Chain A
Amino acid sequence: MSDAAESKTVRRLPGGVLATGLAVLVGLLFVGSLLTGPAGIGFRESLAALFTRDRDAVALIMQEIRLPRAILATMIGASLGLSGAVLQGYLRNPLAEPSLMGVSSSASLGAVLAIYTGVSAAFPIALPLMALAGAFAAVLVVRALAGAGGGSIALILAGVAVTSLTGAMTALALSLSPNPFAALEIVTWMLGSLADRSMTHVWLAAPFMVLGWLLLLGLGRALDALTLGEATAATLGISTGRVQNIAILGTALCVGAATAVAGAIGFVGLVVPHLLRPLVGAEPSRLLVASALGGAALLLAADIAVRLIAPEQDLKLGVLTALIGAPFFLWLIVRSREGLP
């Protein structure tokens, strides 16, 4: 793929440098996440406790409370960043993103139905599966309403409609629960949280997310070809229908599993690809890995921040990602209006 024109205007980093840099950043933030918590355990003690086979209090805190939280932040951030990059590339729309398209909200509804009806207590695997079904349905609906390559306005309207509808149904389902605490959890499902998640959640969500990553990362070459237009891509042997199916399935797997354990977390999939695109140039294939790493770094940082800002209040992750993402979103809208004829 030639992008000589792009290379003149943006400063591209050589291949590998950006990915390595982001991977190091993710590694540092991962360790930072492990070291953040109210129990105030020292640096060496906490890292040693990660690998000990004892089951003392410090080992339990590190292995059963902080490790799953750091793993989930990394995997969910990567899933959201990667889905955002793929959706933007495949729909050729700068506003495509799981939460704006209503995919996260719809996955939340699936997860809520699984948990609060008691289905997931009997069959734990029902939790990611029902969230995945919700995500899948939302991508299909928004895709049908807005159309591939359709205007940003249509996409946003369809996303707003799906988000409002599924959000209302989530609130309704939680309000009808006889458990007095359920209604308070509407906030968690709409803004996302990783407080006190366990390894059980990691094992439930990880296989689906990894499968989703493999599907989405495999789309790199096809997305590159699609930047030349569907007709040209077809001559290169790219089947648009197949790309679409894989993109939808991969997004549903990633976002569904992520939302099932952490609720809907907005704006990661929107902000990260836009921030990284100038650094990788206009090749979607290079953007995919970078966006996955960037998403992981952003969510790890946000999850550290919620614990530092309000250690005992369980500040929701979506609050922080929206604080970063919403102004960015406004800027994108202004810019896209300027670009209109």
Chain B
Amino acid sequence: MSTSHRRPGMRARERLFAGLAFLCLDAATAMAGPETARSDLPARVVSINLCTDQLALMIAAPGQIASVSFLARDRSMSVMADAARAYPENHGLAEQVFLMKPELVLAGTYMTASTVDLLRRLGITVEEFAPATSFADIRRDIARMGELLGHPKRAAELIAELDTRLAAASRVGGPRSPLAALYYANSYTSGRSTLPDEIVTLGGLRNLSRELGLAGVEKLPLEILVRHAPRVLVTGESYEGAPALAQEGFRHPALKGLGAEEVPAATADKYWICGGPFTAEAVRLLAEARDRVLPGLVRDRADIEARAPEGNVP
């Protein structure tokens, strides 16, 4: 599922960057005038990372992108699968990318270091995006992509869309909110300082892994998970049709015996893997699961406030 990993101590700096990015963005939008008028925009953009693929497809002008990675076409992983089909695909190999004569290459910081080094030595501009570990990261990445592609206005619209959808989806959680467990293949989970943790929290749920003191992506033994009897269970992609022992844990009778509300990421993996406006959809799915495990209960403070006046009317 998520490939976000631990980067402790960077969150404060990231927030600062996100704030700065907003300031720069406003200035840039004010000065740039009509976007199409700029002539220094990179024309042949090649993206070799699923997450930069999706942001680029949302922001770039038609014809600005030369190629996106083959993963962008996969409907289970990419929300931009249909749009991606309009462009040639690449497999992120330096030789292949070089032959596309890109003006700008967009890459992730994860697993592609050697490819990126090689491309830079060949004189190609490469911009790297670290995996988003928070919604602040997502806003920063969208703004940065807008700057790089020369469409800051479009980026600002997407950030506004993210915030609107988040405001609609999120629930107010607290120390007594239902417990949710993130349980991926091979018993891995996401704790503090990860995007899935923030998604769970915004869904009005408590993340079991965070409460157990886990940070980043770590092991969560099945026994420990069952011991805490979470009410909501988010499982990873189950690769229907290509089974492996790694996913057998999802069907373990002990897990089924909990009777927890299941949110299979298999149906929603694309909302979890990368950060974007669509990440709000993951929050919405969790908030819905929360509402299902709290039947008949007052759901959050907003509800209490909304109902209070009606109750007082004689």
- B226: min CB distance to chain A, Å: 5
Question: What 0/1 readout, one digit per residue, does chain A (175-206) give for beta carbons within 8 Å of chain B?
Answer: 00111011011001000000010111000000
- A317: min CB distance to chain B, Å: 14
Pairwise interchain contact B245-A115, C-beta atoms closer than 8 A: yes
Contacts of B266 in A (CB 8 A): none
Given contacts A196-B248, A196-B249, A312-B219, contact A116 B242 (CB under 8 A): yes
| Beta-carbon contacts under 8 Å, A103-132 to B | 115-116, 118, 120-121
Given contacts A39-B227, A196-B249, contact A61 B254 (CB under 8 A): yes
A65 at the A/B interface (Cβ < 8 Å)?
yes
B187 at the A/B interface (Cβ < 8 Å)?
yes
Contacts of B242 in A (CB 8 A): 116, 118, 177-179, 182
Smallest CB-CB separation from A182: which chain B residue?
A: B244
Pairwise interchain contact B186-A181, C-beta atoms closer than 8 A: yes
A322 at the A/B interface (Cβ < 8 Å)?
no
B247 at the A/B interface (Cβ < 8 Å)?
yes
B221 at the A/B interface (Cβ < 8 Å)?
yes
Residue in A41, A121, A196 whose beta carbon sits within 8 Å of that of B243 in the complex: A121
Given contacts A65-B223, A196-B248, A200-B253, contact A57 B258 (CB under 8 A): yes
Given contacts A116-B242, A196-B187, contact A60 B219 (CB under 8 A): no
A38 at the A/B interface (Cβ < 8 Å)?
yes
| Beta-carbon contacts under 8 Å, B176-218 to A | 185-187
Report the bound CA distance from A117 to B243 in whole Å.
Answer: 7
Contacts of B252 in A (CB 8 A): 64-65, 196, 198
Contacts of A120 in B (CB 8 A): 243
Residue in A55, A181, A311 whose beta carbon sits within 8 Å of that of B257 in the complex: A55
Pairwise interchain contact A58-B227, C-beta atoms closer than 8 A: yes
Contacts of B228 in A (CB 8 A): 57
Pairwise interchain contact B254-A177, C-beta atoms closer than 8 A: no
Given contacts A57-B258, A64-B252, A196-B187, contact A38 B224 (CB under 8 A): yes
Smallest CB-CB separation from B238: which chain A residue?
A: A179
Report the bound CA distance from A37 to B158 in whole Å.
Answer: 47
Contacts of B226 in A (CB 8 A): 39, 57, 60-61, 65
Contacts of A185 in B (CB 8 A): 244-246
Smallest CB-CB separation from B259: which chain A residue?
A: A55
Contacts of A55 in B (CB 8 A): 257
The CB with the most chain A CB atoms within 10 A, among B221, B243, B245, B253, is that of B245
Pairwise interchain contact B258-A39, C-beta atoms closer than 8 A: no
Smallest CB-CB separation from A189: which chain B residue?
A: B245
- A131: min CB distance to chain B, Å: 14
Smallest CB-CB separation from A56: which chain B residue?
A: B229
Smallest CB-CB separation from B236: which chain A residue?
A: A181
Smallest CB-CB separation from B227: which chain A residue?
A: A39
Contacts of B43 in A (CB 8 A): none
Contacts of A56 in B (CB 8 A): 229
Contacts of B254 in A (CB 8 A): 60-61, 64-65, 198
Contacts of B244 in A (CB 8 A): 115-116, 177, 179, 181-182, 185
B222 at the A/B interface (Cβ < 8 Å)?
yes
Contacts of B258 in A (CB 8 A): 57, 60
| Beta-carbon contacts under 8 Å, A135-189 to B | 177-179, 181-182, 184-185, 188
B241 at the A/B interface (Cβ < 8 Å)?
yes
- B220: min CB distance to chain A, Å: 9
Report the bound CA distance from A271 to B223 in whole Å.
Answer: 32
Report the bound CA distance from A89 to B226 in whole Å.
Answer: 46
Residue in A57, A179, A313 whose beta carbon sits within 8 Å of that of B227 in the complex: A57
Question: What 0/1 readout, one digit per residue, does chain B (271-291) give for beta carbons within 8 Å of chain A?
Answer: 000000000000000000000
Contacts of B257 in A (CB 8 A): 55, 60, 64
Report the bound CA distance from A179 to B314 in whole Å.
Answer: 62
Contacts of B239 in A (CB 8 A): 178-179, 181
Contacts of A118 in B (CB 8 A): 241-243
Report the bound CA distance from A312 to B253 in whole Å.
Answer: 20
Contacts of B227 in A (CB 8 A): 39, 41, 57-58, 61
Report the bound CA distance from A39 to B221 in whole Å.
Answer: 8
| Beta-carbon contacts under 8 Å, A56-84 to B | 56-58, 60-61, 64-66
- B120: min CB distance to chain A, Å: 28
Pairwise interchain contact B245-A188, C-beta atoms closer than 8 A: yes
Report the bound CA distance from A36 to B203 in whole Å.
Answer: 35
Pairwise interchain contact A196-B222, C-beta atoms closer than 8 A: yes
- B76: min CB distance to chain A, Å: 12
Report the bound CA distance from A198 to B248 in whole Å.
Answer: 10
Smallest CB-CB separation from A57: which chain B residue?
A: B229
Pairwise interchain contact B253-A199, C-beta atoms closer than 8 A: yes
Report the bound CA distance from A293 to B224 in whole Å.
Answer: 32
Report the bound CA distance from A56 to B243 in whole Å.
Answer: 29
A-B CB contact pairs (8 Å), 29 listed: A39-B224, A55-B257, A57-B226, A57-B227, A57-B228, A57-B258, A60-B258, A64-B253, A65-B222, A115-B245, A116-B242, A118-B241, A118-B243, A177-B242, A179-B239, A181-B186, A181-B244, A181-B246, A181-B247, A182-B242, A184-B186, A185-B246, A196-B187, A196-B222, A196-B248, A199-B253, A200-B253, A311-B221, A312-B219
Query: What are the 6 tightest A-B residue pairs by CB atom distance, in nearest-first order?
Result: A181-B246, A64-B254, A179-B242, A39-B223, A182-B244, A179-B239
